C-alpha cells in the first residue's frame, strides 16, 4: 500500500527537494529547518517548507513520517 504522501511528492515539481527533506527527517538532521511541536499530541512535530508541511513523530528508532501535504489540507 502506497502512502498518500508518496503520491503527493511524486507529483510535485519540487520532488528532489522534498525527498531531501524526507532523508533529513529520517537521519534526524533537522538543524536547518523550521520545526515546531504540535499542541494536540505529544511527540508529534511539524516541519515547514514553503506551503508544504511535513508531520512526523520522533521514536526510539528514528523519525516516522505521518503526513506530507499543503498547508490548508494537512491540519
Domains annotated for the chain, with CATH where assigned, are 4-74 (3.30.2310.20)
Torsion of CA 32, 15, 37, 42, to 10 degrees: -140
What would the pLDDT profile of 12-61 be if each residue is shown by its tens digit?
999 999 999 999 999 999 999 999 999 988 889 999 998 999 999 998 88
What would the pLDDT profile of 20-32 be if each residue is shown by its tens digit?
999 999 999 999 9
Predicted confidence (pLDDT) at residue 1 exceeds the cutoff of 90: no
C-alpha–C-alpha distance, residues 47 and 68, integer Å: 9
Amino acid at each position: 500500500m502506497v502512502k498518500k504522501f508518496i503520491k503527493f511528492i511524486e507529483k510535485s515539481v519540487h520532488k528532489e527537494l522534498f525527498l531531501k527533506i524526507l532523508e533529513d527527517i529520517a537521519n534526524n538532521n533537522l538543524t536547518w529547518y523550521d520545526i515546531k511541536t504540535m499542541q494536540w499530541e505529544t511527540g508529534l512535530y511539524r516541519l515547514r517548507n514553503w506551503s508544504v508541511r511535513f508531520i512526523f513523530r520522533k521514536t526510539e528508532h528514528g523519525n516516522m513520517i505521518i503526513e506530507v501535504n499543503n498547508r490548508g489540507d494537512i491540519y
